[in-house]
Structure 1
Amino acid sequence: MKPKNLVIVRAVVDQGLTHAEAATRFGVTRQWVHTLVRRYEADGPDGVTPRSRAPHTHPGRTPPVIRDRIIELRHELTNQGADAGPATIAWHLEHEGRKPPSISTIRRILHDAALITPAPNKRPRSSYIRFQADLPNECWQADITHWYLANGTRIEILDFLDDHARYLLDIRPAAAFTGPMVVTVMTELITKYGAPHSTLTDNGLVFTTRLARFKGARGGFEKLLETHGITQKNGRPGHPQTQGKIEGFHQTLKRWLTARPLPETINDLTHLLTEFRTWYNTARPHRSIGRRTPQTAYTALPKASPSTNPRTAEWRSRTDIVDQYGKVTLRYAGKIRHLGIGNAHNGTPVLMLIHDRDVVVSNSNTGETIGEFTIDPDKNYQRKKP
């Protein structure tokens, strides 16, 4: 109780002061004196106790049912290995037919529930410089990551991601991926989605031979891109930020996999990755594409296509010695080819001049041409031209 209020009231009730006289004596308004006296007459001394000035209603307060659902979604999404930030929770509320509060309100509710760990030193997203293709199929990123089976076996995972829409074009596991296996996957994707304008990968040998110890021969992936007029781009060695989108995608993938038991076999992992691809493309909102799903973004615009610029011819040379079976070897499109020179030249040192698929083989000692070939990409053994 505030003593002054009771003194004012008793000055009027017990001492006979008018409301105006009491207001003048105690330095308050006559209306306030009237209010205090009315409260005293109704409730006694308790009536003049100071009352809260808070409004009786709170139209801006988040309803308890929405607050509870925000906390439920945080737990559900986290347990699924999915993104569970305030913006993602707002997206799910909206798609449930509920009006979500602001992102800052959702964040505050999660903080109050001790579901967010403060990270003041974390670099803000706004500080990153991001590049994004303008159209679907303008650039495909590809990479290989890994996961484990229940028995501890390490399994490689190959994935292709559209740069513009973040659409997961393909994802599959293997004990280890080779160049020809990557070529097979890329060929399937070109058949299904059309050839992209460009690709972006790291410098792994399954993608490029530009940093190989013995330079010159182009790998199968490079040959395939060349055939379709697709521009090949490779990140700077030791600089994974160039492939930042697919590196970030791998974090999403592994967070999702971590929320599930380790698969027993590669087939089990294949089924898991198929389930993940469906969820990632059709049910997961993506911050960088306006909280749309990748499938929505991929189908919203026309597709880019390869450049019409003429391809660059491959010119190189190689030395070898004809083996005991009358053959020399040559790497073409990522595979070792055997060129049949003939037993008459066993042990002869040779020089091979290669122009794309055409190869001229000469005796290194005499300069005499001893064989001409046109490489058949579908065969390992190559016969001499007549």
Structure 2
Amino acid sequence: MARYTEEGEAAFKPRSRRPHSSPTRLPQATIDLIIELRATLAGKGLDNGPHTIAWHLQHHHQLIVSAASISRHLHAAGLVEPNPRKRPKTSYIRFAAEQPNERWQADFTHWWLTDGTHTEILCWIDDHSRYALSVTAHRRVTGPIVLDEFRKAVARHGIPYSTLTDNGMVFTTRLAGGKGGRNHFEAELRHLQVRQINSTPNHPTTCGKVERFHQTLKKALTKQPPAASITELQTQIDAFVDEYNHRRPHRSLPHRATPATIYTSRPKANPASRIDTHNRVRTDRVDQAGSVTLRVNGRLHHIGIGRHHYRTRVLILAQDHHITVINAATGEVLRDLTLDPTRDYQPTGAPKGPKRKKP
């Protein structure tokens, strides 16, 4: 009544319910720091959500602010774009290895230089800690490159218990119709007694950790000046990997720890002791030169049978390097040998040319 007496009809308009004082409100300097951190992290291509900002406030500025408060101030500043159709993270079934080196995930992604040159970036990460073990740029990722980078990672971090990759031909030949045998990488895994795991075809979420790492990597590279050469691109990648492993908090890890902290906090897993041989059977026909071909560990070998067996259909029984060649029609053993992996041609051992008569 007093307000109506003083203001008339204006007394019926809604008024602000904001309290006259807010003792628990964040200081304006902290709010400005939150917005500044958001811009800084976004400028570097790094994660800049409320939990990441809270981690930086606690570890770098000794300020403890809840993620809810940070989210509220980011919304108030107009820095958050709502996405209501986004699938909730609780709908995904998460799994992770229990120890470092228990499982290494690998895959490669694509990137382009300033002149439009296409490159490929090969990534190896630890499933347990998300530690980036090896990230290298190449013109094209091939089988020998995969093997070389894997050996370098093993020399630095030890032999893993298992690997997890997709079904690319640089990782496995299991979908090649049984014609190629094992490639270089598969042969190395068997030699080191490392268990090989491949994802289901057309199911990339199995290798979700390395796929998510690709997204984080590309987001950071986009914020850098475009690289003009592979050497320059590798320099940018190395700087990102150092930041990712040692200074960037990872939300999926306990207490938002860095991957390096988790990777070094537990004993590393080792390969299990097991015996594994590669048994396979393939058919072939003896060529005009009197030989058949067999690919072992990614390398093609010619096995001499004899010219007189030209066009004979044969069965080749291979158990690792032990090879037996059988006439498919009669069952006669035409050749039984231990393959020499250093030689392309496996000779029959018979003397060449006609026999010379003794004088």
Query: In which range does the TM-score fall when normalised by the shorter chain?
Result: 0.7 to 0.9
Deviates more, 1:374-383 or 1:187-196: 374-383
- Choose from 167, 171, 187 the match for 1:223: 187
- Choose from 220, 241, 252 the match for 2:216: 252
CA RMSD of aligned residues (A): 2.5
Conservation of the 8 A alpha-carbon contact between 1:360 and 1:371: yes
* 2:210 aligned with 1:240: no
> Which structure has the larger Rg over C-alpha atoms?
1
Shift of 1:364: 4.1
Q: Tell me, in whole angstroms, the C-alpha distance in 1 between the residues paired with 2:58 and 2:347.
A: 66
- Choose from 300, 320, 336 the match for 2:265: 300
* Counterpart for residue 69 of structure 1: 33
Q: Which has the higher contact order (CA 8 A, sep 6+)?
A: 2
Shift of 1:192: 2.2
Conservation of the 8 A alpha-carbon contact between 1:140 and 1:198: yes
* Counterpart for residue 172 of structure 1: 136
| Larger relative helix fraction | 1
Conservation of the 8 A alpha-carbon contact between 1:180 and 1:334: no
1:382 to 1:77, Cα distance in 2 relative to 1, 3 A: farther
Q: Tell me, in whole angstroms, the C-alpha distance in 1 between the residues paired with 2:339 and 2:126.
A: 33
Conservation of the 8 A alpha-carbon contact between 1:372 and 1:385: no
Conservation of the 8 A alpha-carbon contact between 2:306 and 2:348: no
* Counterpart for residue 322 of structure 1: 286
* Counterpart for residue 88 of structure 1: 52
The within-5 A match list for 1:226-375 is 226-290=190-254, 291-311=256-276, 313-343=277-307, 345-375=309-339
Q: Tell me, in whole angstroms, the C-alpha distance in 2 between the residues paired with 1:367 and 1:214.
A: 22
* Counterpart for residue 195 of structure 1: 159
1:127 to 1:117, Cα distance in 2 relative to 1, 3 A: same
Q: Tell me, in whole angstroms, the C-alpha distance in 2 between the residues paired with 1:270 and 1:338.
A: 40
Q: Structure 1 counterpart of 2:182, which letter? A: R
Shift of 1:287: 0.5
User: Percent identity, aligned pairs only?
Assistant: 47
**Unmatched segments (≥5 aa) in structure 2:** 7-16, 351-359
Shift of 1:172: 1.0
Q: Tell me, in whole angstroms, the C-alpha distance in 2 between the residues paired with 1:129 and 1:267.
A: 39
> Residues 78-129 of structure 1, C-alpha deviation per residue, up to 9 Å, x if partnerless?
1111100011111111121331311011011111111110112222222321
Q: Tell me, in whole angstroms, the C-alpha distance in 2 between the residues paired with 1:53 and 1:170.
A: 54
Q: Tell me, in whole angstroms, the C-alpha distance in 2 between the residues paired with 1:55 and 1:221.
A: 69
> Residues 105-163 of structure 1, C-alpha deviation per residue, up to 9 Å, x if partnerless?
10111111111101122222223210011110111111111111112222111111100
1:3 to 1:303, Cα distance in 2 relative to 1, 3 A: closer
> Residues 223-279 of structure 1, C-alpha deviation per residue, up to 9 Å, x if partnerless?
221222211111111111111111111110111111123221222222222222111
- Choose from 113, 121, 124 the match for 1:149: 113
**Count of aligned pairs between the two proteins:** 339
Q: Tell me, in whole angstroms, the C-alpha distance in 1 between the residues paired with 2:327 and 2:68.
A: 77
